[in-house]
Amino acid sequence: MPVAYEHIAFDRDGDLEVNLETAVQQLDRYKLIMDNYCQTNASITVSYDPEEVPAIIDWLIENWDSYVGVSFIYRANPTKTAKDLGYPYLPQTPVSKETYREYVSTLLPVNLTDVAAADMLDTGECTGGACPIR
């Protein structure tokens, strides 16, 4: 899923703009989403430098009730591929603006007004806000 972060300052590495936010900045954005836009759970993979661990611990303690799905990965050179870093995949892949725009131009709009879309949004047994345990 392509994601554009127009309001975040990026550093440049060749033709790529790479995000080097601190772990706490990433966690604060996740908290904003969890507190204001999410009824159940959103997840995030936070990239961090080992020097940030004390600040991460403080954030987790102070925001105990605001997170559910947080995982952490060491911050590596963001221009390296997952294969370069020894991972099967990474949660984000930096691409050039041109590559991003080319890909986004191929996507079709999502239509939530037709019958099939309504069926996808049907919560069935969860309508009351609590889903049955299976």
- pLDDT one-digit tens code per residue, 114-130: 666 555 555 566 666 56
**Residue 131 located in a structural domain:** no
Report, in angstroms and rounded to the nearest whole number, the Rg of the chain calculated over CA atoms: 18
**Residue 122 located in a structural domain:** yes
**What pLDDT score was predicted for residue 24?**
97
Residue 75 lies in domain: 11-126
**Residue 5 located in a structural domain:** no
Predicted model pTM: 0.62
SS3 91: coil
Q: Span 52-68, mean pLDDT?
A: 93
d(CA 28, CA 59): 9
Q: Span 31-58, mean pLDDT?
A: 89
- For the stretch 88-114, pLDDT in tens is 877 777 778 888 889 999 998 877 676
d(CA 58, CA 98): 39
Whether residue 47 is predicted with pLDDT greater than 80 in this model: the reply is: yes
Residue owning tokens 């911050």:
75
**Residue 3 located in a structural domain:** no
